[in-house]
Amino acid sequence: MVRIAVPLWVSVTAAIGACLAGCGDSADLGPAPKPAFTVDAGNTLDVGALDAATAETSSPDTAADPGMAEALTWEDAATTADSPVQDTAETLTVADTAPDSDPADAAADQAVSADAAPTCNGCLFTQQPPSPHPGGKGPYALAPADEFEYAPGGLTGNYHKMLVVRPDAPGVWPTVFFLPGKSLYEGGGFSAKLGQPYRALLDHIASHGYVVAFVRVESGLLDADHLRMADDLLLAAKALTDKVSVASPSKVAYVGHSMGAKVALLAAWKTLNSDQSNAHADPAAVLLFSIANEPPPIGTYQNALDKAKVMFKDAPTWFTFATGADDGTATWNDPKKPNAKALFDALPTTRKQLFVVHGTGKDDPNPPTKPELVDDHSAPMTIEGKPGGIADMALTDSHLDALDWYGFWKWTVGSLNAHFKAGDPAWAYGAQRTHGGNLPDGKAIAHEVAGQGWTVFPGL
């Protein structure tokens, strides 16, 4: 690993809007399109096969209009004359084919959970999608979570902490490193717990057969050295495989929210561009939710843009940006900041995509709901109540709702399953990525693919 000697100081705001919830009936998902390609031994998705598979799930009418094609509802994709259809359970079952997993546990991936409903406050849908939809509860019970230090405190203090959530089953599991937003690494008050603002999402990922490491890389409120934080993530990755024997050292993904998304992007640059000794595994997927970079005088954002521009374009790493349309903290297309759109454009790889999450508010294209689904900066979070820290000054209650499991949860698990378990990539990279679930009247909530590096339809 080649370290950066001169840190660049960056800070992000932690002002986060409310993520409200509503009430209604569960979605009727119906059949899904047949998987049309697989993952090779190197866990690299074949772009050409992905193009063919995605095009295969679109009708002639939508193929002529790329915007419509990306907004396919579940029913559109399943019933088009050009789309092969098979039984839902057969299509969506994820078999754990990882060579370092226990074959005896593969059958558990086909189990349908009977208690898929999460604890939430007035959810818009009464339950998560049924298993094995990647937004639905996974088949594995969880072992008690572990918390440990991944590096000595030294002069910087004792902030090097990591929370590890994993399946309560034998095997060696792919590893997901999750990085929080600014000062969002624990709940507040007298019940401060590492990972609390995101705990439902962490547990959800682990229940699908993954070791999830929630890593604190921020020493405090004034810490804005994101390049050093990226080094801390790599320290945590090394410590995890030393301490947790069931965590695969070679099958790795990075997930981050807000500031944590920027750190994840920088860590990817370090492993792909600067790890000359191959001390760290290259991430198969990097998921960047509501990525935030504040401009001067708060901090400097140039390091993220500079590193994105020179990212190793031929690396077998897939980058996904997802951001709320109403995110005022990290506006995805603000020309004054290299947030989601500018960073997406800067990446030279074709293995990239940009989602814009749409709720059901006044200016959203979806049918209105009451209460509405709010697609703001807190959408990837899954807290009940305030998380503490600086966010206490601005963050109202954020509840689980359909934008969680039909959006961020689906893309996360869908991507991981596609890379590590030969799962159907349509959930994260194809026809099902824009589907946000059905309302009681049958209308669908839809999200937007604002950009992708591979070509599916002419002119896209």
Q: Answer whether residue 209 is part of any domain.
A: yes
How far is residue 48's CA from residue 64's CA, in Å, rounded to a whole number? 20
Q: Answer whether residue 15 is part of any domain.
A: no
How far is residue 304's CA from residue 229's CA, in Å, rounded to a whole number? 13
How far is residue 258's CA from residue 151's CA, in Å, rounded to a whole number? 24
Q: Answer whether residue 448 is part of any domain.
A: yes
Higher pLDDT: 374 or 317? It is: 317
Q: Answer whether residue 232 is part of any domain.
A: yes
Determine the pLDDT at residue 71.
31
> Average pLDDT, stretch 446-458?
80
**pLDDT at residue 54 is higher than 90:** no
Angle of helix 226-243 versus helix 259-269 axis, rounded to 10: 80
Determine the pLDDT at residue 300.
59
Q: Answer whether residue 405 is part of any domain.
A: yes
Determine the pLDDT at residue 224.
84
**pLDDT at residue 18 is higher than 60:** no
Residue 69, sorted as left (phi over 0), alpha (psi -120 to 50) or beta, turns out to be alpha
| Burial class for 314, CB neighbours closer than 10 Å (0-12, 13-18, 19+) | exposed
Q: Answer whether residue 27 is part of any domain.
A: no
In tens, the pLDDT along 342-362 reads 999 999 999 999 999 999 988
**pLDDT at residue 281 is higher than 50:** yes
Determine the pLDDT at residue 277.
79
Range of the domain at 101: 47-452
Determine the pLDDT at residue 457.
36
Higher pLDDT: 93 or 317? It is: 317
**pLDDT at residue 26 is higher than 90:** no
Measure the CA dihedral 44/50/52/55, to 10°. 180
Domain count of the fold of the chain: 1
Contacts for 448 with CB less than 8 Å, ≥ 6 apart: 70, 71, 325, 355, 356, 358, 434
**pLDDT at residue 169 is higher than 90:** yes
The top-scoring range by mean pLDDT among 170-179, 196-205, 223-232, 450-459 is: 170-179
Bond from prior residue into 84 cis (ω within 30 degrees of 0): no
Determine the pLDDT at residue 456.
53
Bond from prior residue into 283 cis (ω within 30 degrees of 0): no
Determine the pLDDT at residue 83.
27
**pLDDT at residue 179 is higher than 50:** yes
Higher pLDDT: 115 or 156? It is: 156
**pLDDT at residue 364 is higher than 80:** yes
The top-scoring range by mean pLDDT among 9-13, 36-40, 59-63, 310-314 is: 310-314
The top-scoring range by mean pLDDT among 59-73, 127-141, 147-161, 291-305 is: 127-141
In tens, the pLDDT along 77-117 reads 322 222 222 222 222 222 233 334 443 333 333 333 333 44
Determine the pLDDT at residue 25.
31
In tens, the pLDDT along 287-299 reads 999 998 665 544 4
CATH at 384: 3.40.50.1820
In tens, the pLDDT along 391-405 reads 555 555 567 788 898
The top-scoring range by mean pLDDT among 213-222, 305-314, 408-417 is: 408-417
